Every structure is written in C-alpha cells, then in structure tokens.
C-alpha cells in the first residue's frame, strides 16, 4: 500500500464544493471517479478540508491510498489528461503512511479578492463592491480576531463541531489600485468562517457596524447575529501548512 499526496488547483465556479455528494458535481467526486478508473480500483480521496460551493483552491492538498505501482509522474500526467479543465493537479508525491491531508495540517491560509470596479474577466473570482471602505478601521477591527477565539457567531447555523474555537494567526489587507486582497491564516476554519469574518470587516469598513459591536459579539459564548457573509466566488484556499 502506498499513500500519495496530491496538490491541486480548482476553479470552484461549477462545483458544488469539495465534498462528495450524490448526483452533484464535486471536486472530491470527480477526483475519486477519475482515480478509480486510472488505478483500476475504487479510491477514496481525503482532502485537507472542505471548500464550499463556488470557492476556489490554488493549493488544495489531498491524499489517497493505492496498491497500484504506477509511477507518480505517470499518475500526474494521466490525471491531468483525464480531469476536466477546471481542475489542475500540480503534483503527486509518495508520502509516509502516517501523513494525513486533514489531520497533519497545522494551518490553512485563505485569500479573498475584492475589487471596486467591474471586470467581466474576473467575474467568477472577485467580489465586486461599489462603496468606499475605511481600511484603518478594518485593520483595527481585524486585530480583535487574532488569537484563540470562539467562532460560534462566525459559522453557519448547522455546523457540527465539537469546538467553536479557532486559533487565528494572521489577517492581512493587501491594498491594490482597484481593490484589495484579504488573507487569513488559522489552525482551522468552520463552515463559512472566512466569508463571515470578511463580511463583518467590510460592514465595519463602510460604517454599518461598530468595532464595539464586534467586541461584544466576539466576547459572547452564544451565537449572535452578525452582518453580511461575503459571497463564495472571491474565496481561494491558498495554502495548507504541514
């Protein structure tokens, strides 16, 4: 038995997210089907984490086990020949059997792209907003998220988890001529957490929410109503750290 690690890109626009679902086109589903054919044996693929419908990945990591002795370079070439054009496998590497794409990961970095003017060439990859933002306030508010924080108010209602705590290491706003890139790194994220954090920071940046309100929400152990959830299309899983 060999354990193989995949690093891959996908354009999430036409996927119902990462996780396999009956009769829906998902990245995990397409990979398992393709690997099953290629390796002549049913193959389960474990990702570093799920991404939601419409969310993209620049470097998603996954692993699978196989008895098939096919060389990794051949698997890489064949996979890229077989997968649809919205998936690209960047590398296939043999790893130790105790490597686990999800449980060995120590941190995840997400990128979110926001632009202030419309460009149809980026329409599936950026959130286009049309109001001015106060970056100073957004940066000040972002600091409140740093550290080990209870994210109960920053995840979808029905998220099943044994803990709402996430250790957030870093939040960065990279200002561009025509918008900004938002990056956030944490040990883990719950369902929609990145999009809810960014949506909240944007509400603060446009003056619809006060930093005091955010402090109150973050201090509570019970789920509080927050503002906007940023749409999925601007979000990329940029890096997984091991």
Return residues touching a second copy (CB under 8 A): 9-11, 56, 85-88, 118-121, 123, 125
Instruction: Identify which of residues 88 and 164 has a Cβ nearer to a second copy in the complex.
Output: 88
Catalytic, out of 52, 65, 178, 213: 52
172's CB contacts (< 8 A; 6+ apart) are 182, 183, 184
Instruction: Identify which of residues 93 and 208 has a Cβ nearer to a second copy in the complex.
Output: 93
Instruction: Identify which of residues 129 and 211 has a Cβ nearer to a second copy in the complex.
Output: 129
Tokens of 111: 């990128």
Q: Minimum Å distance from CB 8 to a second copy?
A: 10
Is position 52 annotated as part of the catalytic site? yes
Q: Minimum Å distance from CB 213 to a second copy?
A: 35
Q: Minimum Å distance from CB 56 to a second copy?
A: 7
Instruction: Identify which of residues 11 and 203 has a Cβ nearer to a second copy in the complex.
Output: 11
Q: Minimum Å distance from CB 9 to a second copy?
A: 5
Active site residues: 52
């Amino acid at each position: 038995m060999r354990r193989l690690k995949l690093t891959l890109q996908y354009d999430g626009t036409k996927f119902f997210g990462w996780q396999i679902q009956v009769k829906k086109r998902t990245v995990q589903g397409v990979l398992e089907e393709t690997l099953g054919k290629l390796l002549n044996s049913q193959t389960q693929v474990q990702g570093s984490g799920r991404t939601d419908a419409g969310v993209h990945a620049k470097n998603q990591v996954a692993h699978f086990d196989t008895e098939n002795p096919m060389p990794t370079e051949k698997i890489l070439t064949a996979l890229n020949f077989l997968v649809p054009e919205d998936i690209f496998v960047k590398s296939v590497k043999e790893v130790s059997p105790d490597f686990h794409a999800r449980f060995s990961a120590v941190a995840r970095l997400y990128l979110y792209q926001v632009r202030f003017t419309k460009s149809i060439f980026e329409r599936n990859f950026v959130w286009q907003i049309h109001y001015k933002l106060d970056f100073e306030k957004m940066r000040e508010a972002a600091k409140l998220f740093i550290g080990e924080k209870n994210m109960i108010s920053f995840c979808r209602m029905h998220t099943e988890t044994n803990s709402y705590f996430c250790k957030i290491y870093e939040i960065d706003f990279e200002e561009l001529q025509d918008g900004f890139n938002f990056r956030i790194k944490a040990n883990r994220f719950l369902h929609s957490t990145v999009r809810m954090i960014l949506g909240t920071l944007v509400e603060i940046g446009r003056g619809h929410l006060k930093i005091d309100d955010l402090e109150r929400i973050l201090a509570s152990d019970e789920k509080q109503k927050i503002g906007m959830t940023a749409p999925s299309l601007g979000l990329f899983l940029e890096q997984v750290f091991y």
